[in-house]
Amino acid sequence: MFDAYQLGTHALPNRIVMAPMTRARATPDGLPTPSIATYYAQRATAGLIVSEGVQPSLQGQSNPYTPGLHNDAQVAAWRPVTAAVHTNGGRIFAQLMHGGRVGHPDTVGHHPVAPSAIALEAELFTGAEGLRPAPVPRALSTAEVRDEVRVFADAARRAIDAGFDGIELHGANGYLIQQFLSSSANHRTDAYGGSVTGRIRFAVEVAEATVDAIGADRVGIRLSPGGQYWDITEDDIPQLYGALLGELARLDLAYVHTLVTTDDETLSALRKAWPHTFIVNPGGQIGPRPTDGAVGEHWLTQGADLISYGRAYLTNPNLVERLRLGLPLRPTDRDTWYAGADAGYLDYPSYQH
C-alpha cells in the first residue's frame, strides 16, 4: 500500500485513496467553506482524495448542505479547497453525484427526476422539514436524458476550472447513473432502458461526454455492482457490468472504483476485464466495515491497484502514517458525520505516543 503508483499523469506517493463521503458542511447554496479546505488539506497525504459527492446541477442535489459545481460562485469557492490540498502535496478528484430520485422538493425546490416514475421506499432528510417520504420522481423524456448527460460534462469543466485534478462519476449507491443500470428503477422502453445495452447507455454517454470535456486521464467512475442502496435491484450483474466495463474501457478512463458489493468471483472477473487502474473500496462488505491495513493488502493481492478507505479517514486524517506504523485507528462518531460544525470534523489530532 505504501508503494508509489502512476495514475495517468499523476504520481501518487502511495496506493491509499480517501473515498468520497458526504459531510454536509457546505452553505445552503452549495458553497464549500474554509473548514472544508482545512478538512481536505489535513488528509492530503493520501495518494488520492476523492471529494464528497458534488451535485452537477441544482436538480441533481440529493441532500441539504452539500456542495455544487453548477455556477461560478461555487467554482470560486472550491479554488481555496483544491489549492489547500495541492499546497499540502495532495491530489483531489471531484465526485460528480446526481441524486436522481434520491431527492426531495423540500431540499432544493425542484421535483426529483429519474429514469422512470418509480419512488424508492425510504424517507429522505430534507433539512428543516426533517425526514419526509421519498416522492414519486418525474420520468425524464429521451431529450431530457441527453440534457442530463450535458449536465455532467459542464460540471466536469467547472471542476477543472476550480482546480480539481479530475472527476469521478458517481455510478454507485443508488443515485442517478445506477438508477439507469437498475432493473427495478429503470422501466424505460426507449434506447435508455430494457436490455443491458439500453440500461448501460446513460452511464456510457456520461463518460463519453466528460472525456470529451476534460480528457480521459481525468475521468474515473465509482460502481457498486449488485449493491442494494436506496432500494436498487440489478439483474444479470456479471453481464451488466461486464458490458459496461467493456464500453468504458474503449474510452481509456483513468480508473474504475468499485465497492465490494458482489461476490468475489464476479469482482475478480471485472478486475480481469478492466485494462486500467482498478480501485477497490472494501466498505461495501456485509457486516463490520474493515478499516485496517491487512484488508488493503489483501485486495492488492487480489488484483486491485489502489485501496480506498472511507470511515477510517473521518477520524484519522493521518491514516497513511497510522497504517504504515501499525498504530491504532480512532473509531468514528456517527453523531458527527453530518453535524454541520467543526466539532467532529476538524478536531482530530495526529497520533501521539
Q: Known catalytic residues?
A: 175
Distances (CA, A) of 204 to 48, 171, 281: 24, 11, 22
Q: Which long-range contacts (CB under 8 A, 24 or more apart) does 36-40 make?
A: 36/67, 36/81, 37/80, 37/81, 37/83, 37/84, 38/84, 38/346, 39/345, 39/346, 40/81, 40/84, 40/85, 40/90, 40/92
Longest dimension (CA), the chain: 62
3-state helix, strand, coil in the chain (%, to 5): 35, 15, 45
Give the closest residue to 348 by CA, choosing from 17, 42, 14: 42
Q: Residue 113's beta-bridge partner residues?
A: 138
Residues with Cβ within 8 Å of 301's Cβ and at least 6 positions away in sequence, in order, are: none
Cell 434520491 belongs to 102
How far is the C-alpha of 44 from the C-alpha of 150, rounded, in Å?
Answer: 31
